[in-house]
Structure 1
């Protein structure tokens, strides 16, 4: 605000000082013109008397404070108020001085002529106070106008400062609330583009942080179900080895280590997906993922005397989704079929036109309600909300069959050429 007032004062001075000087010169010039007109009128008045060698008895009256004097051709004062002998302006018009005409601010001299001969001179003068009296109202008006300009600039600067500071104060308050963990900030539009952009960016940051924390909290509840199954299998193997260590073969040890590796991979992938970090930027190779799931789930289902089948057509297109997300989604669906379903479990992949694919996981059980995809309190499909969220984050979705016990994963197709299936 001080800078704005200083700039306004500088602008007023830059404009006012030259105007002040110009007005002073104009007033002096007008006063000299008035004195010259008065002197010329007086010269015509006394011309006849001087021609007849008579001294006029009186001179014309001028404005208050104006002095008029008559001089003969020798520069001697004959009549009126003036120096006893003519000064420089009088000597010049009488021809007694050569060179440029002298300029006195408020003294004017004109000759009195008689058929081409100079027979005298009229001198008019005015005091400097007369000029100051004429300039006084002008100066006061300019000073008043400058004061109005400066006060207006101060008021406008103060209003603008308040208008700018209030949104910034609210922005600081919102930032403090965000730092304290309150993500419900909702800044109002102020009409100031820069402030509105900063507020919108802060609001988007708050929303992203809120979503991130919500995902982290949901992860702690939903991921426990994903980890429970491999942990239970590993625990059974270790308890069996503890009861009969002599029967623990190298293959069983390797299988246990494989379970630990899968458990570590599951934890890493879930953490990465919870933070919206893609584990790979390339489209997933579905046949490879299903081959890994076959190695993991076929032995487990075989222990319960349940059949397991995977059907993937040749030259199947790649889905435009990360391998980690697809692996976790299919893991949830297979675990749901293993725990809550009955009979044979099947995985079938098929194309849906040119832009999408479907992966269907089915069993011979009664199926689950559609609400199981969103409600974790139904009692079945505890990991299904996590699978649904992961599918939607990859641009896909999950659907539940209304007649058969089938859950379908729909995913968009990558723009890459199809890759020959390994199965």
Structure 2
């Protein structure tokens, strides 16, 4: 990533420098030669004004002192050098100037300017000035060297800027790569940080959203496995014990044992349905659930749990409000919540367990009370994994999720003796 960004920046910088430097180098050459031609012509004109009208009669010429780089000479009509420096015989530019016109010429070695000197509309001589082209080329090459040095400095600055920008651009992508590797190693809490670069931040946000959804899916799968294991343990144990008791006890009514086993199997099926519904439920309004009269629900719960509490030498009482027995409740969900609360009372509570049904005007209240004392912080009571003994700490968390999935409310209403209350709203 870094090398690619640097290469792209360098290519762009080189192309820009070439497009700028080549025309500028050509312009420098043309400008330097044009300036030198002008200087040579001005030198020739300055010398021409020093030639007196008596030049043709042999009057000597005093030429002005000029640059050591230039040659200035005066030629008569016989094309001979009379004063100054230059070729002994006039060159082509000087001969053309005899026709009374200023001539500029460039030979292989010199830049030449020839200016005619006239007297009474008659050319009496020609002033020739010249500069070696190598002198001009030296100045051109020096300027080109300065231009090249500036281009190299600009290219170096472009490299530094490109490397810095490459680090800025690649750093969030490298961080995103490290985050992806951490997630691949199982750390689903890792999230990509925003960098301030819009396009990269969009990728990071999409990545975080994807990871969030994956984490939720994995959490649902894990919760489903844990919830199913937790909820199926008690009914499976009851089913197994009932069948073993029927086989081991002579004279047992096999039909009654099979009916009880069938009832336990139905309850297992309902348990699986509820746990699966909770695992696949999406956020939104509570899903419609099948209902049954509250009295029938209490009868089923008492039939399932009277025996287990009796085996522990504990009592279970059901105290219904007669006015509420016919009111509908979400059967399977409420069944599962009560199973969790009663199992929790059996494992962690003490004494008699009482299930109370109350009608509150617009809602039904189901209280599960035992004679024990809550030994865990109420703030952590419904957290998954929170437990006071050897349990998994799943039950109360699952009961709360089940209650919320149908719009009900589960809460601890008393610490000693311990009492949990499930509020079931009644539709009007």
Aligned partner of 1:284 in structure 2 is 287
Q: Which residues in structure 2 correspond to 1:12-31 (within 5 Å)?
A: 12-31=17-36
Work out the CA distance in 2 between the residues paired with 1:245 and 1:88. 145
Q: CA RMSD in A?
A: 4.8
Work out the CA distance in 1 between the residues paired with 2:215 and 2:24. 63
Q: TM-score, normalised by structure 1?
A: 0.71
**SS of 1:377 mapped into structure 2:** coil
Work out the CA distance in 1 between the residues paired with 2:208 and 2:303. 50
- Assess if the C-alpha contact under 8 Å between 2:411 and 2:422 holds in 1: yes
Aligned partner of 1:386 in structure 2 is 398
Work out the CA distance in 2 between the residues paired with 1:23 and 1:382. 85
Change (3 A) 1:294 1:397: closer
**SS of 1:154 mapped into structure 2:** helix
Q: Which residues in structure 2 correspond to 1:255-294 (within 5 Å)?
A: 256-257=261-262, 259-267=264-272, 269-270=274-275, 273=278, 277-278=280-281, 283-285=286-288, 288=291, 293=297
Aligned partner of 1:156 among 142, 156, 161? 161
Q: How far does the alpha carbon of each residue in 1:168-220 deviate from its partner, in whole angstroms, 9 at most, with x for none?
A: 44443443333233456476766655556656766676677677767766665
Aligned partner of 2:10 in structure 1 is 5
Change (3 A) 1:211 1:49: same
Once the two structures are TM-superposed, the CA of residue 15 in structure 1 deviates from its matched residue by: 1.0
Change (3 A) 1:48 1:266: farther
Change (3 A) 1:393 1:53: farther
Q: How far does the alpha carbon of each residue in 1:219-267 deviate from its partner, in whole angstroms, 9 at most, with x for none?
A: 6556444223322332344345545799444x87566445334424423
Change (3 A) 1:158 1:245: farther
Aligned partner of 1:68 among 65, 72, 97? 72
Once the two structures are TM-superposed, the CA of residue 128 in structure 1 deviates from its matched residue by: 1.0
Q: How far does the alpha carbon of each residue in 1:253-298 deviate from its partner, in whole angstroms, 9 at most, with x for none?
A: 5664453344244235435645xx3179653346726668457425
1:407 matched to 2:415? The reply is: no
1:398 matched to 2:406? The reply is: no
Once the two structures are TM-superposed, the CA of residue 314 in structure 1 deviates from its matched residue by: 11
Change (3 A) 1:296 1:373: same
Once the two structures are TM-superposed, the CA of residue 41 in structure 1 deviates from its matched residue by: 0.8
**SS of 2:41 mapped into structure 1:** helix
1:108 matched to 2:120? The reply is: no
- Assess if the C-alpha contact under 8 Å between 1:344 and 1:364 holds in 2: yes
1:297 matched to 2:301? The reply is: yes
**SS of 2:291 mapped into structure 1:** helix
Once the two structures are TM-superposed, the CA of residue 57 in structure 1 deviates from its matched residue by: 4.0
1:333 matched to 2:333? The reply is: no
Change (3 A) 1:391 1:66: farther
Q: TM-score, normalised by structure 2?
A: 0.71
Work out the CA distance in 2 between the residues paired with 1:124 and 1:364. 124
**SS of 1:360 mapped into structure 2:** strand
1:42 matched to 2:52? The reply is: no
Please list every run of 5 or more consecutive structure 2 residues that lacks an aligned counterpart in the other structure.
1-5, 311-315
Work out the CA distance in 1 between the residues paired with 2:119 and 2:400. 120
**SS of 2:89 mapped into structure 1:** coil
Q: Which residues in structure 2 correspond to 1:214-225 (within 5 Å)?
A: 223-225=228-230
Work out the CA distance in 2 between the residues paired with 1:245 and 1:218. 43
Change (3 A) 1:247 1:282: farther
**SS of 1:46 mapped into structure 2:** coil
Change (3 A) 1:288 1:130: same
Change (3 A) 1:92 1:289: farther
Aligned partner of 1:376 in structure 2 is 387
**SS of 2:106 mapped into structure 1:** coil
